[in-house]
């Protein structure tokens, strides 16, 4: 199979490409990535240099001509769309790029793939489209969408477009909705790598609000497995939930990480809450379990240890992605809120 993966220089895309090329000797992958602040071509440079089945193309999913050129010119069979603006805090500062890429870009990709008669299209969405939960219950695929941030609203927009492409054109599209990923290559604006970086430098660890917001953590390889199963076995027109069975309040994540790194809890600093901050996410993935045979393979304790070990061994990577742009954004963000 020849696959077009978009956003493959980001966190999940990088892990997905590595895993799929290792697992499927008969697959080849073209990676289309715009290389925003979150995309790092060096993540996959070893493959670029040594693997015939991997090709990198720099470009934007919003560009019709470029996308058509790849889909038709490179005889693509299937598409997996990871490309997105992915950080909630950034979407609160400026929603526009989120609408442009996450809605407009996703629709452009669907339209080009429809015209090129692509056999299968997996659109990677998020649990955040469902909004927030109270103290009990889980999101199922039939939970109504109720997004609360500009990021999640843009992702919900693309999910609706995917539904419309299936209903209107019979376009062979499938959607995945996953909870919070963690693991290697995650950009250090997201909670876990940010905590690692700050703790190592004995800097304050910013905890939003009272730290009692709950996320369902999944190791990135398990999300990649869910995307792979959706691509190879899923029902067209269907959305599938994926989760890690690992609900934790943020403050527990912070304290566990400090203890694993041997750092004091005095580094914890409670800061002004994120506006519209979703209280709790939890995923019911029984549909994916029943239809695709999905089950997460790594528990949170082991996954977190593995992740911290990777960051310890790859401090050069962290330094590399910690560009001036990233630091400026974070410093301004905290200054404005506190
Ligand atoms: P990321 O921010 O690490 O990577 C996004 C990648 O997309 C980057 O390489 C970036 O350069 C690229 N990109 C952005 N705009 C583009 C455009 N217009 N054209 C081409 N490439 C573009 O994001 P991530 O955390 O790896 O998330 C990947 C996908 O998974 C996103 O769609 C996100 O909504 C979804 N998702 C993420 C999580 C999570 O916990 N990180 C959970 C569920 C779903
Ligand atoms: O649930 C899936 C989503 O998970 C994905 O769709 C998004 O792309 C991804 O960014 C992630 O969104 P979150 O907003 O949940 O992730 P983030 O790492 O930004 O925050 C995790 C939790 O930690 C959240 O409750 C906010 C809190 N937080 C975050 C940061 C960066 C803090 O308390 N302090 C921080 O400094």
Q: Is 156 contained in some domain?
A: yes
Decide: helix, strand or coil at residue 61.
Answer: coil
Ligand 2 centre and the CA of 52: distance in Å? Answer: 36
The per-residue pLDDT for 322 is 79
In this prediction, residue 275 carries a pLDDT of: 97
- Which range marks the domain in which residue 55 is found? 2-185+218-245+280-302
Q: Does residue 241 line the site of ligand 1, with CB under 6 A?
A: no
3-state SS record for 249-265:
EHHHHHHHHHHHHCCCH
Mean pLDDT of 137-146: 98
Rounded mean pLDDT, 200-222 = 97
Q: Is 247 in the pocket of ligand 1 (CB under 6 A)?
A: no
What is the position in ligand 2's atom list of the atom closest to the CA of 128? 1
Could you give the CA distance from residue 302 to residue 304 in angstroms, rounded to a whole number? 5
178 lines ligand 1 (CB under 6 A): yes
Instruction: Flag whether pLDDT at 97 surpasses 60.
Output: yes
Residues of the chain above pLDDT 90, percent: 93
- Type and span of the H or E element at 281: none
pLDDT recorded at residue 319: 83
Whether 241 lines ligand 2, by a CB cut-off of 6 Å, is: no
Phi (first) and psi of residue 180, to 5 degrees: -65, 120
Distance 33 CA to ligand 1 centre (A): 10
pLDDT of residue 318: 87
- CA–CA distance, 229 with 173 (Å, rounded to integer): 14
Q: Give tens-digit pLDDT for 275-309.
A: 999 999 999 999 999 999 999 999 999 999 999 99
Ligand 2 probe mutation, 177, 188, 190, 241, most atoms within 8 A of CB: 190
280 lines ligand 2 (CB under 6 A): no
Q: What's the confidence (pLDDT) of residue 316?
A: 87
Question: Above 80 in pLDDT, residue 114?
Answer: yes
250 in contact with ligand 2, CB cutoff 6 A: yes
85 lines ligand 2 (CB under 6 A): no
The residues near 309 (Cβ < 8 Å, ≥ 6 apart) are none
Which phi and psi (to 5°) does residue 79 adopt?
-125, 140
Which atom of ligand 1 sits closest to the CA of residue 187?
3
What is the average pLDDT score of the chain?
A: 96
- Report the alpha-carbon distance of residue 84 to residue 99 in Å, rounded: 10
Determine the pLDDT at residue 326: 59
pLDDT of residue 57: 98
Q: To test the ligand 1 pocket, which listed residue (84, 106, 149) has its Cβ within 8 A of the most ligand atoms?
A: 84
Task: State the angle between helix axes of 250-261 and 300-313 in degrees (0 to 180), rounded to the nearest 10.
Answer: 50
d(CA 288, CA 305): 27
Report yes or no on 331 lying in a domain: no
The pLDDT value recorded for residue 184 is: 98
Residue 40 is assigned to a structural domain of this protein: yes
Model confidence at 130: pLDDT above 60? yes
Confidence of residue 219 (pLDDT cuts 50, 70, 90): very high
Tens of pLDDT, residue by residue over 147-173, are 999 999 999 999 999 999 999 999 999
How many domains is the chain built from?
1
How do residues 18-60 score in pLDDT, each as one tens digit? 999 999 999 999 999 999 999 999 999 999 999 999 999 999 9
DSSP code of residue 25: T
Distances (CA, A) of 71 to 6, 18, 35, 47, 119: 12, 21, 19, 21, 11
Residue 105 CB less than 6 A away from ligand 1 = yes
- What confidence category does residue 335 fall into, taking pLDDT thresholds of 50, 70 and 90? low
Nearest Cα residue to atom 26 of ligand 2:
208
Ligand nearest the Cα of residue 39 is 1
pLDDT at 330: 59
142-151 contacts: CB < 8 A, separation 24 or more?
Answer: 148/276, 148/278, 149/88, 149/91, 149/92, 149/276, 149/278, 150/91, 150/92, 150/95, 150/98, 150/99, 151/85, 151/86, 151/87, 151/88, 151/90, 151/91, 151/98, 151/102
Task: Give domain status of residue 326, yes or no.
Answer: no
Q: Are 44 and 18 in contact (CB under 8 A)?
A: yes
Check residue 78 and report its DSSP letter.
E
Query: Is 89 contained in some domain?
Result: yes
CATH of the domain at 38: 3.40.50.720
Cα–Cα separations (whole angstroms), residue 139 to 29, 147, 241: 32, 13, 8
94 domain residue, yes or no: yes
- How many whole angstroms separate alpha carbon 40 and alpha carbon 314? 14
For 277, what's the count of Cα atoms within 13 Å in the CB-facing half-sphere?
A: 17
What percent of the chain shows pLDDT beyond 70?
95
Pairing of strands 214-219, 247-249: antiparallel
This model's pTM is above 0.95: yes
Q: Which ligand is nearest to the CA of 208?
A: 2
Q: Which of 37, 150, 191 gets mutated to test ligand 2 (max ligand atoms within 8 A of its CB)?
A: 191
Place of tokens 């909670």: 191
Surface-to-core class of residue 144, CB atoms within 10 Å of its CB (0-12 exposed, 13-18 middle, 19+ buried): exposed
**190 Cα to the center of ligand 2, angstroms:** 6
**pLDDT higher than 80, residue 338:** no
Q: Is the pLDDT of residue 337 over 80?
A: no
């Amino acid at each position: 199979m020849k696959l077009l993966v978009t956003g493959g220089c980001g966190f999940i895309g990088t892990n997905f490409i590595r895993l799929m090329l290792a697992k499927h000797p008969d697959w080849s992958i073209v990676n289309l990535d715009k290389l925003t602040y979150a995309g790092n071509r060096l993540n996959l440079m070893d493959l670029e240099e040594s693997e015939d089945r991997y090709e990198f193309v720099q470009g934007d999913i919003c560009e019709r001509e470029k996308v058509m050129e790849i889909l038709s010119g490179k005889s693509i069979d299937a598409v997996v769309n990871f490309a997105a603006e992915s950080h909630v805090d950034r979407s609160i500062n400026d929603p526009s790029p989120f609408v442009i890429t996450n809605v407009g870009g996703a629709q452009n990709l669907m339209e080009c793939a429809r015209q090129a008669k692509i056999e299968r299209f997996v659109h990677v969405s998020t649990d955040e489209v469902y909004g927030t939960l109270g103290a009990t219950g889980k999101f199922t695929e039939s939970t109504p969408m109720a997004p609360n941030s500009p990021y999640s609203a843009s992702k919900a927009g693309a999910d609706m477009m995917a539904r419309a492409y299936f209903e209107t054109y019979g376009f062979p599209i499938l959607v995945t909705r996953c909870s919070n990923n963690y693991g290697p290559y995650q950009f250090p604006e997201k909670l876990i790598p940010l905590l690692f970086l700050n703790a190592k430098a004995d800097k304050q660890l910013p905890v939003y609000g009272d730290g009692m917001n709950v996320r369902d953590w999944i190791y990135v390889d398990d999300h990649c497995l869910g995307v792979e199963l959706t691509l190879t076995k899923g029902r067209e027109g269907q959305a599938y939930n994926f989760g890690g069975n690992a609900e934790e309040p943020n403050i527990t994540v912070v304290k566990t990480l400090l203890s694993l790194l041997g750092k004091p809890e005095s580094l914890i600093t409670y800061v002004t809450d994120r506006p519209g901050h979703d209280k709790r996410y939890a995923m019911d993935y029984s549909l994916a379990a029943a239809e695709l045979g999905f089950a997460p393979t790594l528990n949170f304790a082991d996954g977190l240890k593995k992740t911290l070990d990777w960051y310890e061994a790859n401090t050069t990577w962290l330094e590399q992605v910690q560009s001036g742009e990233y630091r400026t954004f974070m410093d301004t963000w905290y200054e404005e809120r506190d």
